[in-house]
Amino acid sequence: MSGETFDVVILGGGSGGYATALRAAQLDLSVVLIEKDKLGGTCLHRGCIPTKALLHAGEVADQTRESDAFGIKAELIGVDMAGVNAYKDGVVAKLYKGLQGLVKSAKITYVEGTGRLVAPDTVEVDGTRYTGRNVVLATGSYSRTLPGLELDGKRVISSEHALNLDRVPSSAIVLGGGVIGVEFASAWRSLGSEVTIVEALPRLLAAEDEEASKTVERAFRKRGIGFKTGKPFEKVEQTESGIRVTIAGGETLEAELLLVAVGRGPTTANLGYEEQGVKMDRGFVLTDERLRTNVPNVFAVGDIVPGLQLAHRGFQQGIFVAEEIAGKNPAPIDEAGIPRVTYSDPEVASMGLTEAKAKEKYGADKVQAYNYNLGGNGKSQILRTQGFVKLVRLVDGPVVGVHMVGARVGELVGEAQLIYNWEAYPAEVAQLVHAHPTQNEALGEAHLALAGKPLHAHA
């Protein structure tokens, strides 16, 4: 035993776990944070941050290729993957060092090692037991694969393997047209790879608004990224030079490697959760809207809780749970109010309900949508990007969905979040003055049009 009972024992030091720890420490609670790998978890070390660094390196390569369109004479001589990896790893290292400093200065008891829930109030790490008045489960997720499809880390790889490649693959098949698959396909194409996406569902980014999917597919065709939608995977075989994938209908595709990007599963197996009576469903930990499990004083946050597997969801859930434990009675988190961004080229950013979901929920006659094309936005023309801002509103009511496609639109999702979460009406947003020329102005223009007074748009 550690000999001390803590206010909060947290199993997992990723986005949800460390956010819980930092906020709990701010609220003068005694905290132990247990992590088997590196503080920061998947997002910092093997997910969000390194992936976006890879995408940005690809963007620099594309800008170099296209520089003549801006009157700049430049030539892309090649891609130094060692240099790209050094840049990527440097970004991660700097953030990791900063996070370690935050946790240390917060006087959080940090424990390195594999923890296991051995009682409803106790986590054991290498023979030492840490007991808490409250326990928070935050063990994150892992890269899934399909039954019978084994990852060898060389020719059949996960996103974690992909981030550590010492070369740009000459060709790649990406299995999965969701966020992870689309982002890697975009990055590799920018760095010079021939890429084909295989997706069982009818369209890429199937969780997004259908118009967003169509726009991304159109842009990918133009960029030379192939994709096969509505085509389930059947098998993969090794060849002399790589792999051969067979998809529905018997069609075969060949490439140097196969990236399996079919989603992420909850890391909950063999951690003692079920033995201690925690209610589970297909490996996920079930909670109520206050993130309480069915076991008293045991909470869960992040990717192990059913819903969007996003770092910023984990951050907010961690803050929420710390405040709940401290008796602050925070407002429950609205899952539909969490921003979603896909960092491909073009980017996709969205809030709230798609047009289809809104019609399903409220009825087709109660929903109105408007699509503002970025062709009318000055800054987007300067950037030479195409796309749109689409609003979904209730007739004579608030905006219930915002969907954007185009370069850098991920940076616009902050205002979109306010519009959705504050249940703004188009006329209210139309009153706000948006700076010119900015892409942010496109949000204002879309609301002007939906309010019945379009400026740089047709009525």
The neighbour count for residue 318, using CB atoms within 10 Å, is 28
Rounded CA gap, 120 and 280, in Å? 15
* Nearest Cα to Cα of residue 311 among 6, 30, 48, 80: 48
Instruction: Establish whether 458 is a catalytic residue.
Output: no
For residue 242, say whether it is annotated as part of any ligand binding site. Answer: no
Decide: 229 and 202 in contact? Cβ < 8 Å.
yes
For residue 139, say whether it is annotated as part of any ligand binding site. Answer: yes
For residue 414, say whether it is annotated as part of any ligand binding site. Answer: no
Rounded CA gap, 365 and 264, in Å? 37
For residue 192, say whether it is annotated as part of any ligand binding site. Answer: no
For residue 180, say whether it is annotated as part of any ligand binding site. Answer: yes
For residue 303, say whether it is annotated as part of any ligand binding site. Answer: yes
For residue 397, say whether it is annotated as part of any ligand binding site. Answer: no
For residue 230, say whether it is annotated as part of any ligand binding site. Answer: no
Decide: 128 and 4 in contact? Cβ < 8 Å.
no
For residue 176, say whether it is annotated as part of any ligand binding site. Answer: yes
Decide: 30 and 7 in contact? Cβ < 8 Å.
yes
Q: Classify burial at 250, counting beta carbons within 10 Å of its beta carbon; exposed 0-12, middle 13-18, buried 19 or more.
A: exposed
For residue 77, say whether it is annotated as part of any ligand binding site. Answer: no
Q: Classify burial at 88, counting beta carbons within 10 Å of its beta carbon; exposed 0-12, middle 13-18, buried 19 or more.
A: buried
Q: Which candidate in 436, 447, 456, 458 is catalytic? A: 436
Task: Determine the number of helices (DSSP H) and then strands (DSSP E) in the chain.
Answer: 13, 24
Rounded CA gap, 359 and 393, in Å? 10
When computed from its CA atoms, the radius of gyration of the chain, rounded to whole angstroms, is 23
For residue 83, say whether it is annotated as part of any ligand binding site. Answer: no
For residue 101, say whether it is annotated as part of any ligand binding site. Answer: no
* Nearest Cα to Cα of residue 46 among 141, 172, 187: 141
Q: Give the tokens for residue 218.
A: 């159109």
For residue 13, say whether it is annotated as part of any ligand binding site. Answer: no
For residue 254, say whether it is annotated as part of any ligand binding site. Answer: no
Active site residues: 436
Known binding site for NAD(+): residues? 176-183, 199, 263
Known binding site for FAD: residues? 52, 115, 139-141, 303
Known binding site: residues? 52, 115, 139-141, 176-183, 199, 263, 303
